[in-house]
């Protein structure tokens, strides 16, 4: 992933992320309730074709980019509601076709989000920063949850997650934000207090939503009755199990950048 971020030019990077999205779509078809290999491959192909269609639309009308990110960000607000209400509102999304459609709201905005970040000046630093936020939130949540976790965050969806873990993850991302901002200020460009504050706001929004990505996949797997999205990565489950937080964090971070007009360049 880090090699792709730093060394691939934007066109090859688009294919690289597109491949990850396609494999994740193959797994999402299973989460949707489709076990037939033909159906799963067809669904993955449809998602892959959609990335090409979206790329064409954005190239001909750049405003489409912001619209897709806005839709993706709004979807995660809906996902938050569904997670909180699980299993009460399961009738809203349990139908196979509905779950299949939801996969597009998860995967396509992630691809667009990555491409938006890749098109920015100092894109590698920005993408690595978002990755650090995701990894930091997971790591902080793990250790805080192990140490203090008693009150459960979403017991019906993921019994292992606790409020202590949630706050520990936020604290870790806050620390990462401070270190990153100071590093940018010292080595790249001056950062005003407004720059510090704006990046902190974007960071905390992204960190909170990244939890939703993890919980949404847990909810889908619980409803499907499976432990992992697939066995493609021995010992780690599937691709979706590795990118669930990215699927929510990346488009939201990219949307917030556009919405608030924040950029790393001077």
Domain ranges for the chain:
2-260
| From 28-37, 43-52, 149-158, 229-238, the region with the lowest mean pLDDT | 229-238
Q: What's this model's pTM, rounded to 2 decimal places?
A: 0.95
Determine the pLDDT at residue 1: 76
187 has pLDDT over 80: yes
Residue 236, pLDDT > 90, answer no
Cα atoms in the Cβ-side hemisphere of radius 13 Å centred on 152 = 9
Share of residues in the chain with pLDDT > 90 (%): 87
Structure tokens at 94: 């349990």
The predicted-structure confidence for 86-129, as pLDDT tens digits, reads as follows 999 999 999 999 999 999 999 999 999 999 999 999 999 999 99
Whole-number pLDDT of residue 265? 80
* Mean pLDDT computed over 137-158: 91
Copy the structure tokens of residue 170: 């936020």
CA dist 100 and 94 (Å) reads 10
Query: 198, 260 in Cβ contact below 8 A?
Result: yes
pLDDT category, 3, cuts 50, 70, 90? confident
Measured in Å, how far apart are the chain's first and last C-alpha atoms? 27
Closest CA to 254 of 194, 209, 212: 209
- Distance between CA atoms of residues 252 and 226, nearest Å: 28
Q: Tens digits of per-residue pLDDT, 196-226?
A: 999 999 999 999 999 999 999 999 999 999 9
For residue 2, what pLDDT is reported? Answer: 78
- What is the model's pLDDT at position 200? 95
DSSP H or E run through 87 = none
Does position 39 have pLDDT exceeding 90, yes or no? yes
Geometric angle at alpha carbon 210, from 133 and 49, rounded to 5°: 105
Question: Which has more pLDDT, 171 or 234?
Answer: 171
């Amino acid at each position: 992933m880090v090699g792709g971020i730093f060394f691939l030019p934007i066109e090859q990077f688009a294919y690289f992320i597109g491949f990850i999205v396609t494999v994740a779509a193959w797994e999402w078809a299973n989460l949707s309730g489709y076990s037939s290999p033909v159906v799963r491959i067809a669904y993955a192909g449809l998602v892959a074709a959609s990335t090409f269609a979206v790329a064409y639309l954005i190239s001909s009308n750049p405003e489409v980019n912001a619209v897709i990110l806005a839709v993706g960000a709004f979807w995660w607000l809906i996902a938050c509601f569904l997670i909180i209400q699980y299993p009460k509102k399961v009738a809203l999304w349990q139908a196979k076709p509905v779950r299949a459609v939801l996969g597009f709201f998860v995967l396509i905005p992630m691809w667009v989000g990555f491409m938006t970040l890749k098109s920015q000046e100092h894109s590698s630093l920005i993408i690595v920063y978002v990755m650090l936020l995701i990894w930091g939130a997971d790591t902080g949540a793990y250790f805080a949850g192990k140490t203090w976790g008693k009150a459960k965050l979403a017991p019906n969806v993921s019994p292992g997650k606790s409020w202590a873990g949630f706050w520990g993850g936020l604290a870790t991302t806050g620390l990462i934000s401070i270190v990153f901002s100071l590093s940018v200020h010292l080595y790249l460009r001056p950062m005003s207090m407004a720059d510090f504050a704006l990046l902190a706001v974007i960071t905390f929004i992204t960190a909170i939503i990244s939890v939703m990505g993890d919980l949404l996949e847990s909810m889908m797997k619980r409803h499907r009755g499976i432990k992992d999205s697939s066995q493609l990565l021995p010992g780690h489950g599937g691709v979706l199990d590795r990118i669930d937080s990215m699927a929510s964090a990346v488009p939201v971070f990219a949307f917030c950048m556009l919405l608030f007009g924040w950029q790393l360049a001077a």
